[in-house]
Structure 1
Amino acid sequence: MKGPETTTPTNGQTGKITQEFLSALAANEDLQQKTINEYGGDLRHFISWAQGSGQLLRIQDVAIPTLTRYREWMQNEMTLKPATINRRLITLKRFFEWAHDHGHTTFNPAKPIRLVPEEKTSPRQMTDKEEASLVAAAAQGGNLRDYAIIVLMLHTGLREMEVCNLRPEDLHIGAKSGHVIVRSGKRHKQRQAPLNATARATLNKYLASGQNGQFLFPSLKTGDRLSERGVRYMIQKYMKKANVSGLSAHDLRHRFGYLMAKKVPLHRLAQIMGHNSLNTTMIYVQATQEDLQEEVEKIKWE
């Protein structure tokens, strides 16, 4: 993987340590260069603030109050959104955990720092009509590979990256059951996603066509691994044909989550979808603004 392009304008020792951290991310994590650059940007933001406040000489000098003041400054002075503040705090938590593990600090000052509370909103739900229109557009105007990808995502909740990394040997399809082995989930977690009858039938038809290669869904141009960007572009193409707007490829995963949350316990859904925390799965049972609007309309005066 290409080394990180981000550099951090700090004093020599701090700059060396932060650059070592970014290089470690590039070498050991399955992250895109853009993500690594964002880590570098978050570190630059903190260090610039600390140096401007006269609070940072070395990484070892960062204490819990330093990070608390930084969080308060982002909240009260910059009035940043909680999501932005928390992203930067998470970067610092990863950095100082790494720095402590590698002997650059004697303790981890970021560990007790709490994130800023934020109201989580549930993603917009794809409707039955939108799903039917999308599937019809792929079936009528697309190829079997594209149709199989869309059906698989709708019926398993796989992420784009997980779909792109699938290989034929990851499929295990029987007459009445089946599963797909997901070897490249978030944080490299492996899991088995069950395949229902619809997914099994579609995948069997696709496999019989002989379109797969080393990867289950290869690029039609190169024959090599299909990229996540390619999946997103492909799905947007069919959404446009289906006159479906305001949704992304990831909303196929959300569609699966919403439907399954009505039928199975959350802990089982979390296992199927590869969630590390039930808090993530909870978004599929939290009411959306549209749901809440419908509820209050029930008591309106005619």
Structure 2
Amino acid sequence: MNQSSGISVQREPTIEEFLHMLANEDELHPKTVKEYASDLKHFIEWYKERRLLGEKFALRIEDIDTSTLVHYREDSHKVMRLKPATINRRLITLKRFFKWAVLESRISHDPSKALKFIPEDKVSPRRMTSEEEQAFLAAVEFGNSLRDQTILTLMFHTGLRTMEVCNLMPHDIELGRRSGHLTVRADKRNVQRKIPLNMQCILMLNQYLSNFDTESAYLFPSEKTNDRLTERALRHLIKKVMIAAELEGLSSHDLRHRFGYAMAEHTPLHRLAEMMGHTNPDTTMIYVKALNTNHQ
């Protein structure tokens, strides 16, 4: 299949409207919208080549049925020999597009609904059970300082890496009455991203910041040095709380995975990848794939 360097999907008005919706209503980062466009363009080019259609042909999405999507999946796997994670990511993009098209009454039924993913060898990370989550949150509230409670609540609801928590500064937090977000100015790949905050985080941060009178540059300074909290100290805190919750063996990675699974329930793949700081959405597929497997 010939690959084009551009990602324009001109002459495909329904897809252009879908991308416009992603950029405006969903407020996705331009890079994320570009990834959606690239996935859809890949499918369109395959469809046109398979049907021997000319470049000026405008796609009619009502002509796409489930068997067409199955053929695309099989060609991607057996002819193009793409990685399963890449194929599955593109299938998720198609599923989101067709779901939107049904909601917008552009088509009467969703041809992608019955479409299954390509099996992957990746073992999904362990997911905390609801009982484990409750035990952890109860342990957070017992015997910990306001700073430590705020840190742990934030990690539970944002999936931040330990390094990212330690690097947070007060001006990285923006809070409104019912909304807020934090900015990770440099993750492990030196990429900046924003993560929305739920009400639990907003309430906890408001309480914490109202008592925040330190001159430290960091949002969560070390209680010993008033300088940057070390990742070793943060991991020690998490381990202490996990033991108190009788969850020995769980770590900061499990809190990050917990966030990934929770958000994958209702967050588009590319948006979740953006929030978690994954440069490749294929990495984020482990959460979506595991949920899909469990729901079958």
Q: 1:143 aligns with which of 142, 145, 155?
A: 145
Superposed displacement of residue 166, structure 1: 0.3
1:45-124 pair list within 5 angstroms: 119-124=121-126
Listed one character per residue, the Cα deviations across residues 239-289 of structure 1 (whole Å, up to 9, x for unaligned) are 10110123111211110000100111111111111110111101112339x
SS of structure 1 residue aligned to 2:134: helix
| One-letter code aligned to 1:223 | N
Q: 2:255 aligns with which of 252, 270, 275?
A: 252
2:123 aligned with 1:129: no
2:188 aligned with 1:186: yes
Q: 1:173 aligns with which of 171, 175, 178?
A: 175
Counterpart contact for 1:156–1:195, Cα < 8 Å: yes
1:280-291 pair list within 5 angstroms: 280-287=283-290
| One-letter code aligned to 1:183 | R
Superposed displacement of residue 152, structure 1: 0.5
| Residue in structure 2 matched with residue 214 of structure 1 by the alignment | 217
2:281 aligned with 1:278: yes
Higher relative contact order (CA 8 A, sep 6+): 2
| One-letter code aligned to 2:176 | G
Counterpart contact for 1:135–1:147, Cα < 8 Å: no
Q: 1:153 aligns with which of 140, 152, 155?
A: 155
Cα distance in 2 for partners of 1:186, 1:165 equals 11
Cα distance in 1 for partners of 2:201, 2:142 equals 18
Listed one character per residue, the Cα deviations across residues 46-95 of structure 1 (whole Å, up to 9, x for unaligned) are xxxxxxxxxxxxxxxxxxxxxxxxxxxxxxxxxxxxxxxxxxxxxxxxxx
| Residue in structure 2 matched with residue 203 of structure 1 by the alignment | 205
- TM-aligned CA distance change 1:234 to 1:211, over 3 Å: farther
Superposed displacement of residue 211, structure 1: 6.0
| One-letter code aligned to 1:215 | Y
Listed one character per residue, the Cα deviations across residues 111-161 of structure 1 (whole Å, up to 9, x for unaligned) are xxxxxxx93211101111112111211211111111111111111111111
Listed one character per residue, the Cα deviations across residues 198-227 of structure 1 (whole Å, up to 9, x for unaligned) are 111111111112265320001111111011
SS of structure 2 residue aligned to 1:186: coil
For this pair of structures, how many residues does the alignment match? 175
Cα distance in 2 for partners of 1:119, 1:224 equals 43
Tell me the TM-score normalized by structure 2: 0.56
Cα distance in 2 for partners of 1:199, 1:223 equals 23
Cα distance in 2 for partners of 1:232, 1:123 equals 19
1:3-42 pair list within 5 angstroms: none
| One-letter code aligned to 1:137 | A
Which runs of no fewer than 5 residues in structure 1 stay unpaired?
1-117, 296-302
Which runs of no fewer than 5 residues in structure 2 stay unpaired?
1-119
